[in-house]
Amino acid sequence: MAHDAPEVVEVTKTRVSCDGGEGGHPRVWLQMPGEHGWVECPYCDCRFVLKEGVEAGH
């Protein structure tokens, strides 16, 4: 059985929200840890990656 790779979304903020799309899951707010520029949604595994050139914490 093939498993779809999680979606990767480039963002410009270190705090993002995810609702899994239309009817996906409850909206959650996620904060990227300071040690790396990404965070994954615990519901849908979507990975939010800080756009290159954007400093963490801004």
Please give the structure tokens belonging to residue 4.
């779809």
Q: Do the beta carbons of residue 56 and residue 16 sit within 8 Å?
A: no
List of domains in the chain: 8-50 (2.60.260.40)
Which three-class secondary structure state does DSSP give residue 2? coil
- Whole-angstrom Cα distance, residue 38 to residue 11? 9
pLDDT, tens digit (0-9, with 9 covering 90-100), for 9-37: 999 999 999 999 887 899 999 999 988 89
Beta bridge partners of 38: 49
Query: Residue 3's pLDDT is what?
Result: 55
